[in-house]
C-alpha cells in the first residue's frame, strides 16, 4: 500500500504544473536573470573613462610639488594614452558647486595634507583618495630629502616609494571567488526551500478539514502515518529532482562553478530540499487556516528565509552573518548558503552546517508529527 | 458601488499575499538600515574599523614593531591564537579578521639588505578594503627603506619617527553638502520599495482581478443594470484605492525606518520621490491589469508577477546598481519601468541641495514612466477589446 500511495502521488506531483513552475521554472528564470545581470560584474572593476575632478590650488613653480601636474600625468591604465583624471581648475566655492551639480566626482583641494570634497563615496572617490594620498606622502618624503640632498634622483625615489613589492597576496580560491556567487547559493537555497510549498500540500492533502482530497484520503484503509510518509517521500523525490535540474542548469548551461566536490554539493542540496519539505509539512500541520493561507505561509517563510540568505542582496547575507549570528544560525536559508559557501571556500563542507540542517529537519519533522498525532475526525 | 465593494471584499480576503511582501520589505529595510552604517551602501573609505590580524614571526625586531604600531594607528589589530593555515581560513571565513598578514622570521633584518622578505597576505572573500592596508604597508616599508638607504647609520627609533611623520596624515573625504545620510537611506529604501510595490500590487490586485474577471461572473455582470463603463470605473477606483493603501503603508514604513526628520519630509526632494513612487505604483497596477487580461488562474498570475518583479528589479538596477552591470545589460534594462524609476529616485535623492540641475533629468525619467504607463493601459484595453469582440 505504501508503494501504491508513493507511486500515485509521484505521478500526481509531476503533473502539477504550478508546483513545477515554482520548483523548476522560477529558479531557472532567476538564475538566468542573475547570469545576465552579473555577467559583466568583473569588468566594472576597471575604470572605463577618466574621472572628472575639480582642482583647487595655486600652480607651483616646482613640478615636484605641483599636485595638479602630477595628477594630470597619471595614465588611465598602464600603457594607456588617456589620463586617469579629467581636471577642471576652480575656486573652492566653484568646486563645491561642481561636486553638488555632479559635474565632477570630487574636488581636490591642494594643501598639506590635501583635502577631497565629495558628496558620496563610490569607486571614483576611492580612486581619487588613494592617488592623492599616495602623491601627498611621496611629496612629503621627497621634500624632506631635498633639504639634505638637493641632487637626489627624485624620479627614481618616487618610483621606489610607490612599490608594492613588500606584500604578496596569497589568493583564497582566486579563480573561483566571484562577487556574484552568493546570489547563486541563495538561489539554490530558495530552490531547495521552495519544496516547503509542496510539503505543505502534502499535509493539506491528508487532512479532512483542509481539502476534499484529504477527506477522501482519510477514509482510505491505509494508516495515517503510512500515507503521510509515502506522500512526503514522493514529494521529496520530485522536489529533489527539480532542484538537481536547477543545479545542472547553473553549472552546465550557465557554466558557474558551485564548488569543487560534486558529492558534497549534492548532499547539501539533498539535505536542503529535505529541510524544505519538512518545513512545509510543519507549517501545514501547525497552521489552522485554509489551503491558501497555508500555502501563503510557506511561500512567505521560504522567501523570507532565502532573502536573509542573500537572494536579493549579498549585503543582507553579510549583515545577518556578522550582526545577527543567532538569526543566521536558525535560518534554514542561511544554513544552506553557508554550507555551500564553506564547500566553495575550503573545498569541503563544514560539518557544523550539515549538523544544523539535520537538526532543523528533525525539529520540523517532530513538529509535524506532534501536531498530526491524535488528530481524528468524527464520523458523520 | 457593488463592484467597488466586491473588489475590496475579495482584496481583504487575500491580504495575506500582500502582507508577505510588506513583511519582507520591513525585515530587509530594518536589517539594512540598522547595520549598514553611514555609507548608505557605498564603499568603505576608512580602515579604522577594519580588522587586521598579524602573525608575527619576527618577534620584537624594532622595525617590525614599528610597522605593527603604524598599522595599529590605521586599522584595528585583532589577536589570532591559532596561526595554522586552516585556522587562518576559518578566521577569514567568519570575518573575525578581514585581512591576515604573515610576517616571516628575519623580516626586520632583511629590510637592511638588498632583498627584503615579503609579507604574505590573505583576505576575506570578496573584500576590497585590504587594498588600503596593503598600500599602507608598502608605503610604510618603502619610505623606511628609502631613509635607511640614504642614512644607514640612523637610529631605528629616529628612522621610525621620520617615517611616521611623513605618513602621519590620512587624506580625508569631506562631505560637500549638508544633506547627510537621511536621503541616502531614503533613496535606498525607495529603490528597494519598487520591488515590494510591484510584487505586492501586481500579485494582490492580480488575485482580485482573477476572481472578478472569471468568465461566468463577467457574463453575469454584462446582463446587470450596471453599465460596462460604470463597472470599469468602479474597478479602476477600487484598484486605485487598494494600490494606494499598499503604497501608503510602504511610505509610512519608509518614513519610520529611515527616521526622516519632519523638515525633510516636507521638502520638495521628498515630495518628488513620493511622486515618482506613486507613478510607479500606477505602472504596477497597469502591469497587473495586463497580466490578468491574459489569464484568470491566480497561481499563474502570482507566478508571472513574481518573475516580472524579481526579474525587472535585478535588470532594472534596483537590487544591483546599473553601474555594476555591463553596458548591454543596462541597455536592456532601459526597456523596464524599474530602470527609469530607479534613475528618477536616485537622481533626485542624490542631487545637490537646490535640486536645480537634477530636475530636467527627473522630469525626463518621469515622462518616460508616464509613456510606459500609457502603453501598458493601451495594451490592456486592446487585449480586453479583442477578447470581447471574439466573445471570450
Among A37, A40, A137, the residue with its CB nearest the CB of B166 is A137
In the beta sheet, which residues pair with residue B378? none
Share of chain B above pLDDT 70, in %: 91
Q: Give the domain ranges of chain A.
A: 2-40+178-372, 45-161
Partners of B184 on chain A (C-beta within 8 Å) are 120
Distance between B67 CA and the closest CA of chain A, angstroms: 12
**Between A278 and B174, where is the model more confident?**
A278
- CA pair distance B246, B252, nearest whole angstrom: 10
Helices B337-349 and B182-212 pack at an angle, to 10 degrees, of 150
Residue B91 or residue A330, greater confidence: A330
Cell of B232: 470599469
Q: Band of the pLDDT at B367, cuts 50, 70, 90?
A: very high
Nearest CA in chain B to A135: B171
Q: Which of residues 317-336 of A touch B (CB under 8 A)?
A: 319-324
pLDDT at B353: 63
Please tell me the distance from the alpha carbon of residue A369 to that of residue A308, in angstroms, as a whole number: 27
Among candidates B121, B143, B171 on the partner chain, residue whose Cβ is nearest the Cβ of A129: B171
pTM of the model: 0.75
- Which of A34, A54, A95, A100 has the most B C-beta neighbours within 10 Å, making it the best mutation to test the interface with B? A100
A137, A181, A291: best to mutate for the B interface, most B CBs within 10 A = A137
Cα distance between residue A96 and residue A118, in whole Å: 8
Q: Who has greater pLDDT, B355 or A129?
A: A129
Q: A-chain residues within 8 Å CB-CB of B327?
A: 40
Q: What is the pLDDT of residue B339?
A: 93
Q: What is the CATH number of domain B51-166?
A: 3.40.190
Give the model's pLDDT for residue A65: 62
Q: What is the nearest CA distance from A134 to chain B, expressed in angstroms?
A: 8
> CATH number of the domain at A45-161, out of 1.10.10.10, 3.90.850.10, 3.40.190.10, 2.40.70.10?
3.40.190.10
What is the ipTM metric for this complex? 0.71
Is the pLDDT score of B42 beyond 80? no
N- to C-terminal Cα distance for chain B? 26
Q: Closest Cα partner for B203 from A104, A292, A173, A316? A: A292
User: Taking CB atoms and an 8 Å cutoff, what residues of chain B touch A119?
Assistant: 175-177, 179, 350, 352
B31/A320 touch (CB, cutoff 8 Å), yes or no:
yes
Digit-coded pLDDT (tens) for B305-346? 888 888 888 888 888 777 777 777 788 888 999 999 999 998
- Contact of B35 with chain A, judged by CB distance below 8 Å, is answered with yes
Per-residue confidence (pLDDT) for residue B43, from 0 to 100 = 44
Query: Can you give the pLDDT at residue A176?
Result: 57
Q: Which of B35, B138, B300 sits opposite A163 (nearest CB)?
A: B138
Q: Is A57 on the interface with B (CB under 8 A)?
A: no
Residue of B nearest to A126 (CA): B45
Using the CB atoms, write b or e for B52-81: b if 16+ within 10 Å: bbbbbebeebebbbbbbebbeebbebeebe
Yes or no, beta carbons of B32 and A40 under 8 Å apart: no
Best residue in A312, A333, A343 for a mutation probing chain B (most B CBs within 10 Å): A312
Closest chain B residue by Cα to residue A322: B95
Listed in sequence order, the residues at least 6 apart from A337 whose beta carbon sits closer than 8 Å to its beta carbon are A182, A185, A186, A189, A309, A310, A317
Among B32, B169, B324, the residue with its CB nearest the CB of A319 is B32
Calpha distance B357→B340 (Å, rounded): 18
Q: How many Cα atoms within 13 Å fall on the side-chain side of residue B261? A: 6
Whether the per-residue pLDDT at B38 is higher than 50: the answer is no
CB within 8 Å: B125 and A33? no
Closest CA to A62 of A182, A146, A123: A146
Closest-approach residue (CA) in chain A for B179 = A119
pLDDT exceeding 90 applies to what percent of chain B?
Answer: 16
* Whole-number CA gyration radius for chain A: 30
Does the CB of B348 have a partner CB in chain A at under 8 Å? no
> A14 CB near a chain B CB, below 8 Å?
no
Residue B359: how many other CB atoms lie within 10 Å: 15
Q: CB of A72 within 8 A of CB of A89? A: no
**B381 shares contact with chain A (CB less than 8 Å):** no
Mean pLDDT per 10-residue interval, chain A, length 380 residues: 83 81 87 81 62 81 68 75 85 84 85 81 79 83 79 75 80 65 87 88 82 80 84 90 93 85 89 93 85 79 84 76 82 89 78 90 92 71
Number of alpha helices (DSSP H) and beta strands (DSSP E) in chain B:
16, 5
Mean pLDDT of all residues in chain B? Answer: 83
Cβ contact, residue pair A319, B31, below 8 Å: yes
What does the DSSP 8-state code read for residue A45?
G
pLDDT attached to residue B284: 93
How far apart (Å, rounded) are the C-alpha atoms in residues B88 and B101?
10
Closest by Cα among B192, B77, B107 to A313: B192
With an 8 Å Cβ cutoff, are B126 and A177 in contact? yes
Q: How many beta-carbon pairs under 8 angstroms link A with B? A: 246
| B350–chain A Cβ distance below 8 A for any pair | yes
Would you kindly state where each structural domain of chain B is located, as residue ranges? 2-40+181-389, 51-166
Largest pairwise CA distance in chain A: 108
C-beta separation of A291 from B14 below 8 A: no
Range with the largest mean pLDDT of A216-225, B81-90, B115-124, B370-379: B370-379
Report residue B247's pLDDT band, with 50, 70 and 90 as the boundaries. Answer: very high
* List of chain A residues whose C-beta atoms are within 8 Å of the C-beta of residue B138: 163-167
A155: contact with B, CB 8 A cutoff? no
Amino acid at each position: 500500500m505504501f508503494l501504491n500511495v508513493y507511486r500515485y502521488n509521484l505521478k500526481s506531483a509531476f503533473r502539477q504544473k504550478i508546483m513545477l513552475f515554482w520548483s523548476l521554472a522560477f529558479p531557472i528564470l532567476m538564475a538566468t536573470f542573475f547570469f545576465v545581470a552579473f555577467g559583466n560584474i568583473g569588468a566594472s572593476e576597471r575604470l572605463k573613462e577618466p574621472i572628472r575632478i575639480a582642482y583647487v590650488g595655486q600652480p607651483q613653480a616646482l613640478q615636484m610639488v605641483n599636485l595638479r601636474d602630477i595628477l594630470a600625468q597619471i595614465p588611465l591604465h598602464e600603457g594607456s594614452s588617456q589620463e586617469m583624471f579629467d581636471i577642471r581648475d576652480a575656486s573652492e566655492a566653484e568646486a563645491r558647486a561642481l561636486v553638488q551639480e555632479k559635474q565632477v566626482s570630487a574636488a581636490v583641494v591642494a594643501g598639506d595634507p590635501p583635502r577631497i570634497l565629495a558628496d558620496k563615496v563610490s569607486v571614483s572617490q576611492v580612486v581619487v583618495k588613494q592617488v592623492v594620498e599616495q602623491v601627498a606622502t611621496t611629496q612629503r618624503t621627497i621634500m624632506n630629502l631635498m633639504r639634505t640632498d638637493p641632487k637626489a634622483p627624485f624620479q627614481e625615489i618616487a618610483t621606489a616609494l610607490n612599490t608594492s613589492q613588500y606584500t604578496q597576496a596569497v589568493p583564497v580560491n582566486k579563480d573561483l571567488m566571484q562577487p556574484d556567487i552568493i546570489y547563486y547559493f541563495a538561489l539554490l537555497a530558495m530552490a531547495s526551500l521552495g519544496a516547503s510549498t509542496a510539503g505543505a500540500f502534502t499535509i493539506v492533502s491528508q487532512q479532512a478539514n483542509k481539502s476534499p482530497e484529504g477527506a477522501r484520503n482519510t477514509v482510505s484503509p491505509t494508516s495515517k502515518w503510512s500515507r503521510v510518509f509515502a506522500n512526503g517521500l514522493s514529494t521529496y523525490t520530485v522536489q529533489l529532482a527539480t532542484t538537481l535540474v536547477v543545479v545542472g542548469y547553473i553549472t552546465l548551461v550557465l557554466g558557474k562553478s558551485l564548488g569543487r566536490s560534486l558529492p558534497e554539493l549534492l548532499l547539501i542540496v539533498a539535505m536542503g530540499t529535505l529541510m524544505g519539505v519538512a518545513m512545509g509539512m510543519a507549517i501545514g500541520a501547525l497552521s489552522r487556516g485554509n489551503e491558501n493561507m497555508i500555502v501563503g505561509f510557506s511561500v512567505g517563510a521560504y522567501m523570507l528565509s532565502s532573502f536573509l540568505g542573500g537572494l536579493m542582496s549579498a549585503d543582507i547575507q553579510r549583515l545577518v552573518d556578522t550582526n545577527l549570528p543567532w538569526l543566521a544560525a536558525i535560518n534554514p536559508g542561511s544554513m544552506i548558503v553557508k554550507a555551500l559557501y564553506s564547500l566553495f571556500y575550503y573545498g569541503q563542507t563544514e560539518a557544523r552546517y550539515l549538523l544544523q540542517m539535520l537538526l532543523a529537519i528533525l525539529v520540523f519533522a517532530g513538529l509535524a508529527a506532534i501536531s498530526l498525532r491524535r488528530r481524528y475526525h468524527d464520523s458523520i | 458601488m457593488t463592484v467597488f465593494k466586491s473588489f475590496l471584499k475579495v482584496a481583504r480576503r487575500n491580504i495575506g499575499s500582500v502582507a508577505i511582501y510588506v513583511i519582507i520589505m520591513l525585515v530587509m529595510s530594518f536589517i539594512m538600515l540598522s547595520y549598514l552604517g553611514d555609507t548608505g551602501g557605498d564603499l568603505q573609505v576608512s580602515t579604522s574599523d577594519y580588522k587586521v590580524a598579524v602573525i608575527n614571526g619576527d618577534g620584537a625586531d624594532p622595525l617590525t614593531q614599528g610597522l605593527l604600531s603604524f598599522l595599529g594607528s590605521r586599522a584595528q589589530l585583532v589577536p589570532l591564537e591559532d596561526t595554522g593555515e586552516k585556522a587562518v581560513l576559518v578566521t577569514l571565513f567568519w570575518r573575525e579578521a578581514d585581512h591576515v598578514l604573515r610576517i616571516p622570521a628575519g623580516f626586520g633584518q632583511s629590510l637592511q639588505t638588498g632583498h627584503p622578505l615579503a609579507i604574505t597576505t590573505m583576505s576575506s572573500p570578496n573584500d576590497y578594503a585590504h587594498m588600503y592596508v596593503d598600500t599602507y604597508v608598502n608605503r610604510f616599508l618603502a619610505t623606511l627603506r628609502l631613509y635607511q638607504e640614504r642614512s644607514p647609520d640612523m637610529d631605528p627609533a629616529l628612522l621610525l619617527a621620520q617615517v611616521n611623520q611623513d605618513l602621519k596624515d590620512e587624506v580625508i573625504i569631506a562631505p560637500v553638502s549638508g544633506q547627510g545620510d537621511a536621503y541616502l537611506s531614503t533613496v535606498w529604501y525607495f529603490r528597494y520599495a519598487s520591488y515590494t510595490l510591484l510584487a505586492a500590487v501586481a500579485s494582490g490586485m492580480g488575485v482580485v482581478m482573477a476572481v472578478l474577471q472569471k468568465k461566468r461572473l463577467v457574463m453575469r455582470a454584462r446582463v446587470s443594470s450596471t453599465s460596462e463603463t460604470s463597472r470599469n470605473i468602479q474597478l479602476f477606483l477600487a484598484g486605485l484605492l487598494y494600490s494606494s493603501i499598499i503604497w501608503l503603508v510602504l511610505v509610512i514604513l519608509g518614513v519610520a525606518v529611515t527616521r526622516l526628520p519632519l523638515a525633510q519630509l516636507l521638502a520638495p526632494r521628498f515630495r518628488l520621490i513620493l511622486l515618482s513612487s506613486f507613478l510607479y505604483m500606477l505602472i504596477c497596477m497597469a502591469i497587473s491589469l495586463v497580466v490578468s487580461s491574459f489569464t484568470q488562474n491566480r497561481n499563474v498570475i502570482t507566478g508571472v508577477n513574481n518573475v516580472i518583479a524579481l526579474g525587472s528589479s535585478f535588470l532594472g538596477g534596483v537590487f544591483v546598481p546599473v553601474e555594476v552591470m555591463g553596458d548591454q545589460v543596462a541597455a536592456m534594462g532601459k526597456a523596464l519601468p524599474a530602470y527609469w524609476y530607479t534613475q528618477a529616485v536616485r537622481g533626485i535623492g542624490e542631487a545637490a541641495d537646490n535640486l536645480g540641475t537634477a530636475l530636467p533629468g527627473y522630469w525626463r525619467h518621469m515622462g518616460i514612466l508616464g509613456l510606459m504607463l500609457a502603453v501598458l493601459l493601451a495594451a490592456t484595453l486592446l487585449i480586453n477589446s479583442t477578447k470581447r469582440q471574439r466573445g471570450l
